[in-house]
């Protein structure tokens, strides 16, 4: 775009900023609760609301409480909720079999939400880390995170989630070939309407720390995830990953983390035009919520500004732990 500007004083750009009414009229980017996917942490038990120290305001919820949360989210106009299980450490094994147990926590929560709030979309996470004794997203053999055997397990996990009623499957594992394998397995099992939101451009990031506390993976994780998650210095590689996942049958793509990677969001949106999401991850949440709690910044304003930035960067929506708080503010 080539801006056409008359010389000052014919052009006074501040005229457009003088009053709230005029500012509202020319605002380019707006956000609404319909832009949010709300990630929630599920644990076992009943009536349990367990705070997560590194994520002020976020709790692990038992299935009955997750159903309440979904009901509230739906009433607030939030279209989708995303489930992350905090798995009992006793159920973590080397073969990760709990991941495709039809009655695991995630699947039980999916069925309960479907029954109580059929209109909210349910997204589930495909990766082995909540079930893996060593905290990795894939199987570990002789110190290597192996690809193809992991993909076979991810397919079983995703099918159990689709059988339970998941609307959107979110593979967050970064294995090669998983989108194609998941798509053909879903088609083969009669789940042709189940959506794949690929964590296509997922970086090996320090901003996931509080999440790993929340799902109980921090203690378990051996080493780092750099052989499967991306180097934060890479942008072209993100485009290749997104192109590959779309070619294999992803319906939507995600950039993760969010705020440090807005350039990737912009590029992805312009290059592919596919529904593009950012994940404002746990560490981003913790920075804003933690500083807000201490009075170092205005937490509500920083929350809204950060959420607006994703839309401005070209995202269609954002996964954010702020979803209900932001929706409440937006709804007045």
Q: Which residue is nearest to ligand PBG (CB)?
A: 211
CA distances from 92 to 129, 196, 220 (A): 9, 26, 10
Binding residue (CB under 6 A) for ligand PBG from 58, 127, 153, 252 = 127
Residue 34 token pair: 């319909």
Contact 269, 315 (CB under 8 A): yes
Q: Which lies closer to ligand PBG via its Cβ, residue 116 or residue 204?
A: 204
Q: Which lies closer to ligand PBG via its Cβ, residue 172 or residue 276?
A: 172
Is 2 strand, coil or helix?
coil
Distance CA 261, CA 232 (A): 9
Does 40 bind ligand PBG (CB under 6 A)? Our answer is no
Give the interface segment with ligand PBG, choosing from 10-18, 95-103, 147-155, 206-214 (CB under 6 A): 206-214
Looking from the CA of 317 toward its CB, the CA atoms found within 13 Å total 20
CB of 225 to ligand PBG, least distance (A): 6
Does 208 bind ligand PBG (CB under 6 A)? Our answer is yes
Closest C-alpha to 197, from 141, 256, 146, 142: 256
Binding residue (CB under 6 A) for ligand PBG from 74, 212, 267, 269 = 212
Across 194-284, the runs of DSSP E, i.e. the strands, are 195-202, 252-256, 276-280
Does 137 bind ligand PBG (CB under 6 A)? Our answer is yes
CB of 137 to ligand PBG, least distance (A): 5
Rounded to 5°, the CA angle 39-86-315 comes to 20
Residues numbered 142-201 forming contacts with ligand PBG, rule: CB under 6 A: 172
Is 202 marked active-site? yes
Among all residues, which ones are annotated catalytic?
Answer: 202, 256
Where on the chain is the footprint of ligand PBG (CB under 6 A)? 125, 127, 129, 137, 172, 208, 211-212, 225, 281-282
């Amino acid at each position: 775009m080539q801006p056409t500007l008359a010389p000052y004083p014919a052009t006074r750009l501040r005229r457009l900023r003088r009053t709230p009414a005029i500012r509202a009229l020319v605002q380019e980017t707006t956000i609404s609760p319909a832009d949010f996917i709300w990630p929630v942490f599920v644990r076992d038990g009943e009536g349990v609301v367990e705070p997560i120290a590194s994520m002020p305001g976020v709790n692990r919820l038992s299935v009955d409480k997750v159903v309440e949360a979904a009901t509230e989210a739906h009433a607030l106009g939030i279209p989708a909720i995303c489930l992350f299980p905090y798995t009992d450490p006793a159920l973590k094994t080397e073969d990760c079999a709990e991941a495709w147990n039809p009655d695991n926590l995630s699947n039980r929560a999916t069925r309960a939400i479907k029954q109580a709030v059929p209109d909210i979309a349910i997204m589930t996470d495909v990766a082995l880390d909540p079930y893996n004794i060593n905290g990795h997203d894939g199987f570990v053999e002789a110190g290597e995170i192996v690809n193809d055997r992991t993909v076979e397990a991810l397919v079983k996990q995703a099918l159990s989630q689709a059988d339970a009623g998941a609307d959107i499957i979110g593979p967050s594992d970064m294995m090669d070939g998983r989108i194609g394998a998941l798509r053909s397995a879903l088609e083969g099992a009669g789940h042709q309407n189940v959506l794949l939101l690929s964590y296509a451009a997922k970086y090996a990031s320090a901003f996931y720390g509080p999440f790993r506390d929340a799902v109980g993976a921090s203690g378990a994780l051996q080493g780092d995830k750099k052989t499967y998650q991306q180097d934060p210095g890479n942008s072209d590689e993100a485009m290749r990953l997104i192109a590959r996942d779309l070619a294999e049958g992803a319906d939507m793509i995600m950039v993760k983390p969010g705020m440090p990677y807005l350039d990737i969001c912009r590029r992805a949106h312009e290059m592919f035009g596919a529904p593009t999401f950012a994940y404002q991850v746990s560490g981003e949440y913790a920075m804003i919520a933690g500083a807000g709690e201490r009075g170092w910044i205005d937490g509500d304003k920083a929350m809204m500004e950060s959420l607006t930035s994703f839309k401005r960067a070209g995202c269609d929506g954002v996964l954010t732990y702020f979803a209900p708080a932001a929706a409440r503010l937006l709804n007045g």
